[in-house]
A and B are shown apart, each in its own frame.
Chain A
């Protein structure tokens, strides 16, 4: 089983901290240094964003998520020299790139996004019984369960909010919708998830 690595050493209560993200100031500094070719800064950015990136892509395209994640990082490498913005902008950029990459990938494959979990509803209850995530499998199952039964747009927005850690406004920009539309869709998604759980009780 994979061990959890807590790079920040903080209690994982929020996305920003729980996925090993450093502070905003540290990330901004890392972005500046990465633009200048600082390997340590690149490593820090990778550690901060790759876990979420992989989870997002795995939920959308499955087994080829690592390939697409690699492409995302290469695209970032090629274009970071002209990037302007803070850590929030950087995060939005990475996930916008990942989203488009995954769309391209799915289009090439002519398949629909993975929307439903490979697990049935009984698995959801099992997962919810765990007190703390301790390995990759549990995380993958939880992410999959989180979009189980949702339509494509709902799943995408939930993933961008929860796994990517984007705000409503940032998600709205990424998916080219208004903030109001995003709020409506995420509300509908949460309601649907709750209904799914209630029906299994």
Chain B
């Protein structure tokens, strides 16, 4: 067989080569490439509508139909939906070992962060059925570190001087705003305010020393990275979320308080042993 020149290879890969000018073997390769580059099939575009809806929902754009949770769950696979339900039922903590905020934090101090999609010792990596959705949760919502929560709650009570205070101190503070968001999203158990009740529970159940971080610091999720390549020109495209902070699943007294996540029936809580 004649040696294949670099030019021939490049022409082949670009789809510019003429079959008549190629050896029979390369003509077959060229033909395969042509088929591989065939126009889109209806099957490949079948999910367009739900994909667009999910895109709008995930991208924080207003969507014309349905709630965001409904749209996203439609778009994700049934397997991922099951994982989502598991996370929702446990407030996220039982499955991910993490406390999930309802808003993506802009500058939450990540004392202990871990990337669910890549961290080998994450419990998520042991289960293919949960890791997919968990990765989405980690990217989509951000997480507040357990250490940060302890500090924020301590500061909260120091500021309010009351365990039943209902207002969040320093409402202009991003950290306290995040604390309120996490509390609202994860704690609706008692008659006390969500922040006070949540912080009481945090201080009671997570004294210093029971929180274990993975020590990974801020890390970029591979999934959302636009800057997968060095020197990429789309510098902003890699707006990857900070990894989630985790509370060690092996920490003692890890009973999760009754939780109620938006969009899910109250009372759908469970204990994490």
Contact = CB atoms under 8 A, between A and B. Distances in A.
Interface of A: 2-7, 12-15, 18-20, 34, 37, 39, 42-43, 46-47, 50-51, 54-55, 66-67, 70-85, 89-90, 92-93, 96-97, 99-101, 103-104, 107-109, 124-125, 127-128, 130, 133, 135-136, 138-139, 142-143, 145-146, 158, 161-163, 165, 168, 170, 172-176, 183, 186-187, 190-191, 193-195, 197-198, 201
11 contacts: A18-B15, A50-B51, A51-B44, A66-B47, A78-B239, A82-B237, A83-B239, A97-B228, A100-B228, A104-B135, A107-B125
Given A14-B15, A71-B223, A162 B58 contact: no
A66 B76 CA distance: 9
Contacts of B79: 67
B39 interface: yes
Contact of A143 (B26, B36, B41, B72): B36
B33 A146 contact: yes
Contact of B37 (A18, A77, A174, A176): A18
Contacts of B61: 37
A70 B117 contact: no
Given A77-B58, A187-B9, A194-B4, A2 B42 contact: yes
Contacts of B105: none
A70 B48 CA distance: 11
B36 A139 contact: yes
Contacts of A15: 15, 37
A57 B23 CA distance: 30
Contacts of B62: 37
Given A136-B41, A146-B32, A100 B51 contact: no
Contacts of A193: 25, 29
Nearest to A75: B224
Contact of A163 (B37, B222, B234): B37
Nearest to A48: B40
Nearest to B238: A79
Interface string B203-234: 00000000000000000001111101111111
Contact of B42 (A3, A158, A170, A197): A3
Given A42-B55, A47-B48, A190 B224 contact: no
A194 B26 contact: yes
B63 to A, nearest CB: 8
B132 interface: yes
Given A96-B226, A97-B223, A20 B54 contact: no
A4 B1 contact: no
A114 B140 CA distance: 29
Nearest to B14: A14
Contact of B33 (A5, A73, A162, A168): A162
Contacts of A165: 37
Contacts of B37: 12, 14-15, 18-19, 162-163, 165
B200 to A, nearest CB: 34
Contact of A198 (B1, B33, B232, B236): B1
Contacts of A71: 132, 135-136, 223
A152 B199 CA distance: 50
B15 A74 contact: no
A14 B37 CA distance: 7
Given A78-B224, A194-B4, A142 B54 contact: no
B10 to A, nearest CB: 8
B272 interface: no
A99 B24 CA distance: 32
Given A15-B37, A186-B9, A198-B1, A78 B232 contact: no
Nearest to B46: A2
Given A66-B47, A100-B228, A89 B233 contact: yes
